[in-house]
Chain A
Amino acid sequence: MPEVEFTIDTATGEFQMHVQGVAGPACDDVAKLVKDLAGEPGREEATAEYHLRPRVHSRTDTHIRSKHG
């Protein structure tokens, strides 16, 4: 399940965000939402997970028709 982890240091007010469980650039959508609210980050890193391509499984449904009569 996708998760966004926010870390707030209450002593300094420093704020960090880490998107987990979102493979590939889909996590950019969440990052953009946060940037729109919090501004441009001082540092931004793409994790190894970012460089993964989401897997798409194709599925073929087989319908078996039975003949009656």
Chain B
Amino acid sequence: MSKYLAYPQIVFKSRELLIGALADVGYIDVDEGHDLPLFGYHGDQRPETAALVVRRQHIGPGSNDLGFAHADEGYFPIISDFDHRTLLGGQFLPRLRVAYAERVVETVRKRLRASVRRTTEGSVVKLHIRY
């Protein structure tokens, strides 16, 4: 049985941007609500609940539901240790954070009606917005 782990230090403030970022990394079917139950890969209900859930059927064989719980600061992931190790080659959370950050930048660019210039140095992407 895979254990669920919560990552309260990784917070996604905006529900809209988080759903968009999930789509960017390949998860377009997201259940939205309050205190939604989470199920493990055997169909066993877990004690944790979440406000956003990607059901295991949309993730892959052996996966568990992937949830995001809502707190005052935003949404934080609840993910099984199995999925944490295997989703997107173990890069699910970093890639989701990158996708979310890109959406933050794009939203700021649109609000400021600005142009953006992108440069890359190794693993670091710099986005310069001029307005």
A-side residues, CB < 8 A to B, are 1-15, 30, 33-40
Contact = CB atoms under 8 A, between A and B. Distances in A.
Decide if the interface of chain A is mainly helix, strand, loop or mixed: mixed
Interface of B: 11-14, 17, 73-74, 93-98, 100-102, 104-105, 107-108, 111-112, 114, 123-131
B123 A34 contact: no
Given A10-B123, A10-B124, A34-B108, A15 B101 contact: yes
Given A13-B94, A15-B101, A37-B13, A4 B124 contact: no
B127 A8 contact: yes
Contacts of A9: 123-124
Contacts of A8: 98, 101-102, 105, 124-127
A15 B104 contact: yes
B113 to A, nearest CB: 12
B94 to A, nearest CB: 4
A38 B123 contact: no
Contacts of A13: 93-98, 100-101
